[in-house]
Every structure is written in structure tokens, then in C-alpha cells.
Amino acid sequence: MAKENSMEPFVVDFSGKVLDCHQADSLDEELIEEIRDRAKKGCELFVFIDTGYSANLDKPFLASDHLNLTGNNPLVGPNNEIGARFPVINDAYAFADGLLAAGAGKLTNCDSLAKLDTRVGAGLKPGVVPSDEEIALINSLGADFYCYNLVPATLVAAHAGKKVCALIMPPKMRPIQRFDSI
């Protein structure tokens, strides 16, 4: 089967703040399979939108890297046709020039997204609310915020060799109608 190189990016909103894209409460097996299927069909860029929690978040920004503190990894298991289960993913995130290249002609708001600040996030297990001391520890490890779904979703996309644009929304931001208005 030939890959469709012009396939539109797959935009998944875990935050509930961007209303015109695929909505998901969490990364479940069905969504993992959809990400893998789209990757096999030629989707080169995945856009994951998650809520970022921190004291100083007042506008959207992009994640440039992450710490996986979830205690879980969606890649556990035998290797499959996608590849080795624990690939190097230190270039998984697309931002600035990389986002412009990966999203060229496919995302109408590449220019505005590429101008957003970037930060490092810590992925936590859903339902875990860190104490002030734990937030200080997370910050000392180099993370500026924490979130719940971005990290495992990024691992799935990166396993397939795809780029991720990780848009982080502040918790108090009002929902917006369209992704391309960011």
C-alpha cells in the first residue's frame, strides 16, 4: 500500500479547549491504534493538545521535551512491524523550524504556532495531583509544567517515527472553536 504523503496532521485534544478536532479524555487502546494506523497511512505530524499545570501558565505554548513520570509506557510489549519498542525519541517534538517544515502546507497556523514559547513538561499518571513539594521536585528535574496525556501519546507517535506538535493549554483558558485560530 502506498503511503499518502499529503495526509493531514491528526489533531487530538485532551484538554477539551479546542472544539474542532478529535476529542479524547485519555490515551486508550483505541486511540493508540488510531495513531498507529494513521502513521502507517502516511501521517507525518501529530498535534496533541493537553492541559499544562503550573503556577505561571496564562497562555498556550509548545512542549519541547518531556520527562515520563507516569510509571507507565504504552510501548511495553514485543516489537512489531512499526519497529523496536524503545526507540530514541530525543527529536520527537516539532517546534519552530521543525514545525514549519513538518506542517508546511498542512497546518494553516504553522507560523503562529512556531512563534509560541517552548517548555519542558512532566507526564504524570492521570489522577495524580502533586503536592507543592512534588511540584518543586518536578521543577528541579527540569520540567516547567505537568500534564497527563501528552507523554504517552508522544511515545506512541515517536515509536512510529513521526513528529509531534505538542500544544499546551493553560487550565483556566476558555475553550476556542477552531485549532487554526491559535
Bridge partner list, 63: 119
What are the residue boundaries of the structural domains of the chain, listed by start? 10-77+86-173
Reported as a single tens digit per residue, the pLDDT across 56-109 is 888 999 999 999 999 988 888 777 788 777 778 888 888 756 666 666 666 777
**Which pLDDT does position 1 carry in this prediction?**
37
Give kind and range of the element (H or E) at residue 61. strand 61-69
Residue 181 pLDDT grade (very low, low, confident, very high; cuts 50, 70, 90): confident
CA-to-CA distance for 152 and 148, rounded, in angstroms?
8
Full-model pTM: 0.89
Pairing of strands 145-147, 61-69: unpaired
Q: Given this structure, which CATH class describes domain 10-77+86-173?
A: alpha beta
Q: Is 173 left (phi over 0), alpha (psi -120 to 50) or beta?
A: beta
User: Lowest mean pLDDT: which of 21-30, 37-46, 65-74, 100-109?
Assistant: 100-109
Determine the 3-state secondary structure of 156 from DSSP: helix
Reported as a single tens digit per residue, the pLDDT across 116-169 is 899 999 999 999 999 999 999 999 999 999 999 999 999 999 999 898 999 999
CA-to-CA distance for 87 and 15, rounded, in angstroms?
27
**Which pLDDT does position 35 carry in this prediction?**
95
Taking a C-beta distance cutoff of 8 angstroms, is the pair 93, 174 a contact?
no
User: Lowest mean pLDDT: which of 4-13, 18-27, 30-39, 166-175?
Assistant: 4-13
Residue 41 pLDDT grade (very low, low, confident, very high; cuts 50, 70, 90): very high
